[in-house]
């Protein structure tokens, strides 16, 4: 039966989990393995773990961490951070990861996605694309690695990633990151009309209503979030959590 996927995204840095606001002001929120255990108990659909410093430091997500998550997790999980070779993908998959998330390496060389998809299968390769608006409100590709936006047409780049064979594409709004005020529905409405590859939304989710709002305005059916899974209450106390969703009711409203 058709059902939305609700996926926590955990940001990993220097041995612990952090949460950002617009890719800045990172706050420590806890231990990754403890978070995995909590999501196990909550029957989370999937999990994504991203090492946010790996590309900058020219390293990759810790294989030991991936192995520990694989031994603990009851749900499928994806990992990302500094993945720029077939060898690294093979190492991560053989140590427990179900999929890999590639970002910086794709912006530098989209053909790497084609090579990886052919080698491991498209269903194993997810590409994360960071989108940021300029002062005129126009969308551009943003590079966390270079800390800058690219001047090219963002739609052409996304299409090139689709053509290269990515199995899924995470579209992350830099402007909405950590704001907890809802997704940028306009970008998902636009892209879901233009590309056939499944899109995963990321950036801005603060409650289940935000997922429903996006479901109602686009063809997106996979929802990632960070803050809504690690904060609780108006004062944003740190509490790893997973929302209770009546999926039958969710479908009745928006199908």
CA-angle at 159, arms to 155 and 162, nearest 5°: 145
Task: Write down the catalytic residue from 51, 53, 84, 130.
Answer: 130
Helix (H, G, I), strand (E, B) or coil at 212: helix
Of 214, 165, 160, the residue nearest 192 (C-alpha): 214
Q: What distance, in Å, lies between the first and last C-alpha atoms of the chain?
A: 12
Helix (H, G, I), strand (E, B) or coil at 51: strand
How many other CB atoms are found less than 10 A from the CB of residue 139? Answer: 22
62 is catalytic: no
Gap between the Cα atoms of 17 and 27, Å rounded: 8
In 14-70, which ranges are E strands?
16-21, 24-30, 47-51
* Long-range pairs, 40-45, Cβ under 8 A, ≥24: 40/72, 40/73, 40/74, 40/75, 42/241, 42/242, 43/74, 43/75, 43/242, 44/6, 44/7, 44/8, 44/75, 44/242, 45/5, 45/6, 45/7, 45/75
- Catalytic annotation, residues: 130
């Amino acid at each position: 039966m058709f059902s939305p996927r609700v996926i926590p995204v955990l940001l990993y840095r220097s041995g612990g989990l952090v949460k950002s606001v617009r890719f800045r002001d990172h706050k420590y929120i806890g231990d990754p393995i403890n978070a995995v255990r909590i999501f196990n108990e909550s029957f989370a659909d999937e999990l994504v773990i991203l090492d946010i410093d790996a590309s900058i430091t020219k390293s990759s997500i810790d294989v030991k961490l991936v192995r520990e998550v694989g031994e603990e997790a009851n749900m499928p999980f994806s990992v990302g951070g500094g993945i720029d070779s077939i060898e690294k993908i093979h190492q991560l998959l053989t140590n427990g990861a179900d999929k890999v998330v590639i970002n910086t390496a794709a912006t530098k060389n989209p053909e790497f996605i084609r090579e990886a998809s052919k080698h491991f299968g498209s269903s194993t390769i997810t590409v994360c694309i960071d989108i940021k608006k300029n002062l005129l409100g126009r969308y551009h590709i943003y590079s966390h690695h270079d800390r800058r936006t690219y001047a090219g047409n963002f739609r052409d780049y996304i299409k090139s990633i689709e053509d290269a064979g990515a199995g899924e594409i995470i579209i992350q709004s830099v402007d909405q990151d950590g704001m907890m005020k809802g997704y940028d529905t306009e970008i998902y409405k636009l892209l879901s009309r233009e590309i056939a590859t499944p899109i995963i939304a990321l950036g801005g989710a603060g409650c289940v209503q935000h997922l429903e709002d996006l479901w109602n305005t686009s063809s997106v059916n996979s929802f990632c979030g960070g803050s809504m899974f690690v904060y609780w209450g108006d004062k944003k106390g740190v509490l790893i959590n997973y929302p209770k969703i009546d999926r039958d009711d969710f479908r009745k409203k928006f199908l």
